[in-house]
Amino acid sequence: EAQVTQNPRYLITVTGKKLTVTCSQNMNHEYMSWYRQDPGLGLRQIYYSMNVEVTDKGDVPEGYKVSRKEKRNFPLILESPSPNQTSLYFCASSPDIRETQYFGPGTRLLVL
Amino acid sequence: RKEVEQDPGPFNVPEGATVAFNCTYSNSASQSFFWYRQDCRKEPKLLMSVYSSGNEDGRFTAQLNRASQYISLLIRDSKLSDSATYLCAVRSSGYSTLTFGKGTMLLVSP
């Protein structure tokens, strides 16, 4: 089944404790992206990747890192999480940027 | 002016009604347009792409008005299961990102 998977789906952590949210797609897509969604603010892009080893900042990259060492994986790293990073995070992928994006199921993160 | 704007709603309609949403965009060079559906706190799912000539998929019709810089989504014969938030997404020429509107909430009641 073609899909985008994210892990974990739910995470409660404390300020400053490094965490990684994994994202994997099995559709051989070139383009991958991370978004966060907050009430009243909608979906905002954090980082995106056009291809392996090519990443770029989105609208709200502060406090996040990403890597794209393999085509299928695009992990999101929070080196020192803070409470303002409490959010619902979505990973998405598409064959290329001109085409529609397919979203993962989301990761709910709570930073205390 | 915000890049992509939507009326947040909610739009409350009875079953069987026809309802329409608009989404305005500020960049006249925008090239790709999409409507997504999002159920409560779940992932957005593509409803339909929006083509210059307009397109229809069953009860759903999407249209693009480049002159006035908006896209629209028309839902005919609303079902209870149509209750969701509808997000528009726009990609501008030369940009490697999709910009999403904040969504319009639709509530269909019996």
User: Residues of chain B whose C-beta is under 8 A from some C-beta in A?
Assistant: 31-32, 34, 41-46, 49, 87, 89, 91, 96-98, 100-103
Structure tokens at B30: 């925008």
d(CA A92, CA A72) in angstroms, rounded, equals 11
The confidence score (pLDDT) of residue A2 equals 79
A56 touches chain B (CB under 8 A): yes
Residue B8, amino acid: P
Contact by Cβ (8 Å): A4, A106: no
- DSSP conformational letter for A35: E
pLDDT of residue B41: 79
Residue in A35, A88, A100 nearest the CB of B49? A100
Among B34, B42, B97, the residue with its CB nearest the CB of A100 is: B34
Q: Which residue has the higher pLDDT, B10 or A97?
A: B10
Q: Using the beta-carbon criterion (under 8 Å), do A48 and B96 form an inter-chain contact?
A: yes
Using the Cβ of A45 and the Cβ atoms of chain B, whether some distance falls under 8 Å is answered with yes
Structure tokens given for A66: 């990403």
State the Cα–Cα distance between residues A36 and A87, nearest whole angstrom. Answer: 6
The pLDDT value given to residue B1? 53
Q: What residue spans of B1-110 are helical by DSSP H?
A: none
Check residue A27 and give its pLDDT: 95
Q: End-to-end alpha-carbon separation of chain A, Å? A: 36
What pLDDT shows up at residue A37?
A: 96
pLDDT digits (tens, 9 = 90+) for B18-70: 999 999 999 888 888 999 999 997 999 999 999 888 899 999 999 999 999 99
For A51, which residue in chain B has the nearest alpha carbon? B96
| Residue-level pLDDT, tens digit, chain A, 112 residues | 879 999 999 999 999 999 999 999 999 999 999 999 999 888 999 999 999 999 999 989 999 999 999 999 999 999 999 999 999 999 999 998 778 899 999 999 999 9
- The DSSP call for residue A84 is G
Task: Specify the pLDDT at position A30.
Answer: 94
Residue in the block written with tokens 């899909």: A3
Burial B71-97 (b: 16+ CB within 10 A, else e): bbbebeebeeebbbbbbbbbbbeeebb
In the prediction, which pLDDT does A17 show? 96
In this complex, the residue of A50, A98, A104 whose CB is nearest that of residue B43 is: A104
A40 reaches B (C-beta below 8 A): yes
